[in-house]
């Protein structure tokens, strides 16, 4: 496995939109096209593709909250053809390394997920995220568990 991050651009956005999760997982993550569009109107959100060699396998989006300066992983979706092969964990480790390299890196990195998404819970826990006890709720996410990884 040789993974690397790439920006979502005019050259690869269509490839990104074609990534899909299984039917059962659709309720856990927003469609990639929504996230890409969101990033065009909310400049604090950065969409990235994760490639294994030349094949796009994961989409993720991170951002820095303009109010409190904390970095968040806002989306993480692994294409159904590449799940359970270590790409999700590898993608998380790469984005963690990226955020740590920023001069304005926050003390921690935050992620949220639906309470019944046990796969996400195991994945995030495996790289060191711990639940904060907070629950988010808004028109997009309904209710999500918040977890943080200490960076500094």
CATH number at residue 18: 3.40.630.30
135/86: higher pLDDT: 86
- Model pLDDT, residue 138: 66
Global confidence as pTM: 0.91
Residues 6 or more apart whose CB falls under 8 angstroms from that of 130 comprise: 147, 148, 149
Range of the domain at 94: 3-150
- Model pLDDT, residue 17: 97
73, 63 Cβ separation under 8 angstroms: no
* 105: its two tokens: 């890196």
- Look at residue 142 and tell me whether its pLDDT is greater than 60: yes
Instruction: Tell me the pLDDT tens digit for each residue of 40-93.
Output: 999 999 999 999 999 999 999 999 999 889 999 999 999 999 999 999 999 999
Q: Which residues of 10-33 are buried (b: 16+ CB within 10 A; e: fewer)?
A: eeebeebbebebeeebeebbebbe
How far apart are the C-alpha atoms of 2 and 143, rounded to whole Å? 35
How many other C-beta atoms are found inside a 10 Å radius of the C-beta of residue 71? 27
Q: What is the domain count for the chain?
A: 1
What is the rounded radius of gyration, in angstroms, for the C-alpha atoms of the chain? 14
- Look at residue 144 and tell me whether its pLDDT is greater than 60: yes
pLDDT category at 1 given cuts 50, 70, 90 is: confident
């Amino acid at each position: 496995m040789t993974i690397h991050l790439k920006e979502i651009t005019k050259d690869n956005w269509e490839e990104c939109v074609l990534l899909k999760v299984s039917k059962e997982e659709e309720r856990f993550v927003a469609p990639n096209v929504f996230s890409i569009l969101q990033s065009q109107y909310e400049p604090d959100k950065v969409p990235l593709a994760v490639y294994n060699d030349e094949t796009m396998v994961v989409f993720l989006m991170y951002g820095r909250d303009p109010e409190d300066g904390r970095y968040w992983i806002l989306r993480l979706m692994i294409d159904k053809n590449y799940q359970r092969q270590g790409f999700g964990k590898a993608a998380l480790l790469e984005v963690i390394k990226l955020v740590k390299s920023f001069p304005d890196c926050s003390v921690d990195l935050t992620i949220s997920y639906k309470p019944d998404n046990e796969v996400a819970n195991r994945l995030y826990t495996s790289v060191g995220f711990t639940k904060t006890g907070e629950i988010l709720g808004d028109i997009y996410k309904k209710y999500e568990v918040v977890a943080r990884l200490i960076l500094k």
